Amino acid sequence: MIWRPGDCVPGDVIRVRLGELYHYGVFASEDEVIQFGLPPLPQYRERPDAFTVLSTDVDLFSCGQIVEIGLPEKDERRARFSREETLRRARARLGETGYDLLRNNCEHFVWDCAFGEKKCVQEQEARSRWRSRAVLDVYLAPLGAQEEEIEIASPERRRDLERTRCPETLRQRLVAWKTLEYAAKRSFGLDAETLHFQKNAFGRWHCEGMEFSLAHSEGMAVAAVSDRPVGVDVENIPVFVRRRADRPDQVESMLRRIRAPGEEDVRGAAALLWAWTGKESLFKAGQKGFFSPQRLRCGEETARFVLSLEPPVLLSVSGERLDRLRLYLCADGGARRLDKDLIRGGREALEGYFL
């Protein structure tokens, strides 16, 4: 609708701006404006009729502000009820309750009276701003001793995962994907059933509405979600120590193979774990090509953390939104921000596990 000040006639949809919000109603006369809830101002919140469909005079409705009339745009004119029908529908709802700020507010009410459908431009704009905000959330899910079957919503991904031969690897991948479904809902309000996943030319899964990256290791699954490309990797530190710490020749050989030209010449198993995890997350954030660690150099777009969890892990996150990074620990069907005392810092903390 197009909103303009003017002389109101019965059946007009009207609104008034009060601070950052608009309050809506249906005009009947100077003494009767039908609205769902009183104007959103502190002095009216405690009244018993504050959140019911009621009528007031235009002065209380407007609170001294300019009243605007809603004029249907060209594509809305056929759907718009007559003013008489709009007013009849509004009066028929007097006394109604069930107000909900997001799903059943004063704007939903007037659209229903005028068009027969509930719509709220303010809600749509608020949701759009919310979903377009800078987000970089990482959810860590300890695997524990889960025995129950893990169900995921995407049949395409389920069929793809069923090709995994190792039962333990399959479990890790399922938990990582299940964690992604939870992250999509918690961080972006996206239901798992509505997510449509596809593979790109390089075999990477993606979906509309968010960017994501998954990782898993012995005892831990991770899902990172963002509004920009993101990459994540995780490694179980004790397992890595057990496999690599007593094989210095193998460690040094791998370091030489993954070192980029001009990159710092570092040695030891801790350096290998630090470099490999960072490069893996950086590669995932790129979302294309094939993993060539000797071509990757981690910089300010990569953050790495030693996390004192069970098991202790090295987490690496790469992306454009590191200033907005939030770490969550999943447990008991929910998630909470990771306690700061569990984040032990960087490479020096990692070295301590190899002494």
| Structure confidence by residue, pLDDT tens digits, 150-166 | 888 888 888 888 888 89
> What's the confidence (pLDDT) of residue 155?
83
The domains of the chain are located at 2-129, 134-354
**Mean pLDDT along residues 194-213:** 83
Q: What fold is seen in the domain 134-354? A: Ribosomal Protein L22; Chain A (3.90.470)
Q: Superfamily for 2-129?
A: endopeptidase domain like (from Nostoc punctiforme) (3.90.1720.10)
| 201-215, 228-242, 295-309: least confident range | 201-215
Percent of the chain at pLDDT > 90 equals: 53
> What's the confidence (pLDDT) of residue 330?
93
The answer to whether the CB of 57 falls within 8 A of the CB of 51 is no
The answer to whether residue 27 scores a pLDDT higher than 70 is yes
The answer to whether residue 130 scores a pLDDT higher than 60 is no
The answer to whether residue 223 scores a pLDDT higher than 80 is yes
Residue 281 CB partners (closer than 8 Å, separation 6+):
213, 215, 231, 232, 233, 302, 316, 317, 318
> What's the confidence (pLDDT) of residue 32?
97
38, two tokens = 């009183």
**Mean pLDDT along residues 21-50:** 93
